[in-house]
Chains A and B, each alone.
Chain A
């Protein structure tokens, strides 16, 4: 079974400051990892994903994430946030074999303060 934990339900940060959104997962099998962003009244948009290879992955809108297998973490970072980054962010995993569906965390609400 898979589970995803996002410990921070809300993260306020000032504009142009750096931010890190934390994600830890648990799985008995190898997984692929994802970060999605959800703007108000919108669906989910893929920010980035880790499939294999370099553990540092870069995504859209200046976001990046680092896969740490020993700590079972996949934290999302951005060096300088903009007002437009205000949204809900979801970490998700899917097993590399077997089930095809995504398992999501409960989300982190990022609020960028002007």
Chain B
């Protein structure tokens, strides 16, 4: 596609529910990133994939967060047993570069609200 696509754009979950957020990167981009942006804050890194390999998951806040990219293209961020503090915008970015990330393209994000 022309850009990074994320779905759904908005998600309301009851506390304790599991959610899955999808990211379709730009075709051919090897690098894929997930960020979490809390209200009034800058994005914070969650995890990084190079093709299907998850090379860095140091930013995942708890073991309730899980991300995958099984075929090296579409990625899914899953949050189990959602809590109110998980409410945020989740941004996905992709890049054609393997190292020295200087060309990241962002999707519009998924706004997750946990009630």
Contacts and interface: CB of A to CB of B under 8 A. Distances in A.
Nearest to A4: B42
A100 B48 contact: yes
A61 B59 CA distance: 33
A68 interface: no
Given A101-B45, A107-B42, A32 B56 contact: no
A90 interface: yes
Contact of B104 (A102, A103, A105): A102
A96 B100 contact: yes
Contact of A105 (B42, B48, B93, B107): B42
Interface in B18-56: 31, 33, 35, 40-45, 48, 56
Contact of A101 (B4, B41, B101, B102): B101
A107 B41 contact: yes
A19 B52 CA distance: 43
Contacts of B102: 32, 49, 51, 94
Nearest to B92: A43
B108 interface: yes
Interface string B76-94: 0000000000000001010
Contact of A104 (B43, B48, B99, B101): B43
A44 B100 contact: no
Given A94-B102, A96-B100, A43 B107 contact: yes
B25 to A, nearest CB: 13
A106 interface: yes
B106 A44 contact: yes
Contacts of A36: 106
Nearest to A91: B42
Interface of B: 4, 31, 33, 35, 40-45, 48, 56, 59, 91, 93, 95, 97, 99-102, 104, 106-109, 111
